Structure 1
Amino acid sequence: MPAPGRFVVLEGSDGCGKSTQAERLVRALMTRGIDVQATFEPGATDLGRALRRVLLGGDHAVSARAEALLMAADRAEHVDTVVRPNLAAGTWVVSDRFVGSSLAYQGGARGLGFDAIATINEFATAGLTPDAVVYLQAPVEVL
């Protein structure tokens, strides 16, 4: 049985370079012979892609609470079908966004509060936490 993989998450505001840095990290791990799976939220699964169209498509007004639950549903599917299976196989997982984004967007920006979002996501992830979270910051004028 392989050693479990590691779960690394990149968080930060829109446009701060998360995707770019995630790609660089994946390449660096691969050059060191580490099996790695790049992923992202929302939208890395079939369910996530459907939810992403609803949430980001602009055609539907979604309440803050419904948005939080949809994001948690995507996260549950993502954890169950992408993250956990890869970790169990010994593959590292590098994710562009995870729970921190929901805490910021739904908890903070949408006003639902951090406790509610943390509780929803504890259930959605079945307690899975990253081995490392990298927070990227960029000056507002750069974004």
Structure 2
Amino acid sequence: MVGTWCVQAITIETVNKASEVMCVRYWIPNEVGGGCNEVRMGNKWDIQVTDRWKAATVWATEGGCGGAHCNTGPPTGVTQFEITVDGGWSNDYYDISALAGFNLGLTVAPTNPTCASQICTSLSTCQGVVPGGPDRTKACKYGSASYVLTFIK
């Protein structure tokens, strides 16, 4: 264990099943920055997570990243995966948010089968879109799962 930067092996695997190419981005507001990567149809990009991921967001837009700045928060109009790692009671907390808009379908599948998946294929079918709704934020034991995010059209 190396200070506060050590974390159980948590990976966010992003999968493109949406378009020819898309730009996947993540943002951690309590850190300096985030990152982005162009992901071609059928390919994936793995993001390594640290325990400093508090209120982090992952989203994608169709098309390439094209020299865009990766160190910015999400724009309005995008479907977002939100996660807080080790957010209390030794849990990771996560959800799909379409409150700021919807651009791509998104599924979240934790690798731990005891942790709940979420599906948001269209704005009207998004689980967790209603604040305070029963499907909103899910909890998974800290370090017990990685997360597979599949962007779909």
TM category, shorter: under 0.3
TM-score calculated relative to the size of structure 1: 0.24
- Larger Cα Rg: Structure 1 or Structure 2? 1
RCO greater where, 1 or 2, for CA within 8 Å and sep 6 or more? 1
More strand by percentage = 2
More helix by percentage = 1
